[in-house]
Structure 1
């Protein structure tokens, strides 16, 4: 019965995705005077020392209708922000890692209902935290092992970094396989599938699964199967000198002023061993637009198919039901993507079913399939009260949606 229910859900998701894609073939009109207000509003945030600069982009399934750069990529050097400035997109990497997994699903090499231990034997015998009795931790066997689906939806119960690995992302001195193996016997924090808890380690585990199943290093798999077919030439886990020279600096705000911070949270990619599938990508707005347009076009870009319609439908539909999810109201999760169940607060202007992801440095990408439009905001700022609900995101999205006629 469960298999039948899953099949029905998948068919309905494909029908919805196909219907939306058909609807968006019609030309979408924009008020370009209103789109120009986006730059003026971002300039106010620069003047207020909220951000050093920003790149904004609005597009449809086949066009980019707005692409602007405001402020500075580096305040100290007075290096101006440009449309092709490179950003550390942090957790905006997660949907791309999920897409890599679903490519393997399309190839029949992975099934989302499979236990992770089928591919990564080091997870066999993983235990569940039952309770704490003083300094003593009591463990028990979980009802079932964690699955690929659990990792894709942040419902596995995987714990944080184990002792000795708290600085893994800043040091990047272990390989992905080494880091996953060290985390594999951490006790689960809750029964798999019973709760939602955002988990970088779970996505990293998926990245290692991609390596083992495909026989290709994670970064090379992304390049060969996603970036090269889509023409995303300015997206990389380990960027070269040319991309790093165009990278925007990251800023903190202290005593009302912006202060540059070097490689916070995620360490220097030069010489790094760990690719950080949960958040290691560098990219540009134009490259992200190509990935988002692929999703609006049912998994294809021109004559190149990246994902089947079925896999894309699974990535973008609500997978977490009524579980409380996300960092803002009204959210759920698909596979790798956040999913707007009920537009509220910072997502109030978006349609139900909008999907996307943000990043630790304030970046955000939303794809609104009902309207056939997507929105990209790239900034580099830490210590926001709630990066997922920042005023910059709200204002950018509000103005972009108001420009749709």
Structure 2
């Protein structure tokens, strides 16, 4: 690890953020401008909150490059996995109400959902394991073209497979588990399964449950499973390929390289009233709305959705650092990765930071040590989620808000 990064990690563990004078976010502006000028992203909305108050907000670049439509702060984005934290919170609200039980088997609500191990045994899968991605399930987007989920025609919730949630569950249950539940970690379609559990337990549609338990109480009018204002919907792009100089506008059926696999995007899925509400990837929303959600997690937040002990449970690492959910030093809680060892991770973020993103081009984190929430929504996959842009935003925020160490 470099000396500056070691110093930043040490400061994150021991020094409060400076608030004696207004911080300069020149480095953050420069990071955003650089990413747009280098044509790594097309547009972005970046928000930074410190002490529960938004201290930086900026919409930059274009929401639609071909139409020269500027990005705006209230632009609506396809959220992809930014959906997961909100669905997780709604599930935990149902737990508080006694309508769900984290340690109960999924078959209590979905009696036909019985995936098997390769040897034919049929282990129990609990809601806790769905929430933590320790259930033995997988994602087609993580697999090569001939992977088992791809062969079974399983939807990741991002495509337009043209199947019902019930049919997708049947296909998921027909593929052998990747490992015994509770004995591994793998990012997966588990939140889609959880969404089906929530619907079965309540008799309500998942979109209604999210309005009742998350977006309604937090006054998030633009966030849900359907677009409320098409004029504000950001056009999605994918990283430049085959030597191209700029991100490509996503086709109606797009495939974007991702690790060993390819993510299958169908941007028009958001307009399909027949598409099932994917608990793992199906929502749309704005950056200000999601910041409302992140700020509701703060201790003493006036708009708290959940009991303090429930929030603490969500913020706890349940997977262990061996899961390396964001690399070394990261575990996983309910809805997001949890930073267990900042030095091992090589990050200036404080211990207990939660972080995740979305493959349409989003990243976010909440650092409880420094009472800091940062999100960057872009319309460019995959750079906006896991490219240099997300790290540049993170580092620029800490450069603005951490006191400068004496030489």
Would you call these one fold, judging by a TM-score over 0.5?
yes
Number of residues paired by the alignment? Answer: 361
Q: Is the 8 A contact 1:158 1:189 kept in 2?
A: yes
The reply to whether residue 202 of structure 1 matches residue 190 of structure 2 is: yes
What does residue 391 of structure 1 align with? 388
The reply to whether residue 311 of structure 1 matches residue 299 of structure 2 is: no
What does residue 282 of structure 1 align with? 284
SS of the residue corresponding to residue 77 of structure 1 reads: coil
4+ residue runs over 3 A deviation: 30-33, 159-164, 166-169, 262-266, 344-347
Relative to the length of structure 2, the TM-score reads: 0.82
The reply to whether residue 250 of structure 1 matches residue 236 of structure 2 is: yes
Q: Is the 8 A contact 2:132 2:333 kept in 1?
A: yes
Structure 2 unaligned residues grouped into runs of 5+: 1-15, 140-148, 255-263
CA distance in 2, matches of 1:322, 1:259: 36
| Change over 3 Å in CA distance of 1:91–1:57 after alignment to 2 | same
Q: Is the 8 A contact 2:247 2:380 kept in 1?
A: no
What does residue 6 of structure 2 align with? none
Q: Which moved more, 1:253-262 or 1:374-383?
A: 253-262
| 1:375 shift after superposition | 0.3
CA deviations on 1:135-154 (whole Å, 9 max, x unpaired) are xxxx2315x41111111111
CA deviations on 1:287-339 (whole Å, 9 max, x unpaired) are 011000001135x544xx42111211111111112432324332110011111
Structure 1 unaligned residues grouped into runs of 5+: 1-25, 130-138
| 1:346 shift after superposition | 7.9
| 1:259 shift after superposition | 1.8
CA distance in 2, matches of 1:332, 1:77: 42
Match of 2:124 among 121, 140, 145: 145
| 1:340 shift after superposition | 1.2
Q: Is the 8 A contact 1:114 1:148 kept in 2?
A: yes
SS of the residue corresponding to residue 331 of structure 2 reads: strand
| 1:167 shift after superposition | 5.2
The reply to whether residue 155 of structure 1 matches residue 134 of structure 2 is: yes
Q: Which moved more, 1:79-88 or 1:32-41?
A: 32-41
CA distance in 1, matches of 2:45, 2:21: 19
CA deviations on 1:19-66 (whole Å, 9 max, x unpaired) are xxxxxxx99727645224312221111111111121110013531111
The reply to whether residue 234 of structure 1 matches residue 190 of structure 2 is: no
CA distance in 2, matches of 1:284, 1:370: 26
CA distance in 2, matches of 1:30, 1:331: 32
| 1:94 shift after superposition | 0.9
CA RMSD, Structure 1 to Structure 2 (Å): 2.3
Q: Which moved more, 1:307-316 or 1:263-272?
A: 263-272
SS of the residue corresponding to residue 19 of structure 2 reads: coil
The reply to whether residue 270 of structure 1 matches residue 271 of structure 2 is: yes
| 1:163 shift after superposition | 3.7
Q: Is the 8 A contact 2:44 2:61 kept in 1?
A: yes
What does residue 99 of structure 2 align with? 109
Q: Is the 8 A contact 1:329 1:344 kept in 2?
A: no
Match of 1:120 among 91, 110, 123: 110
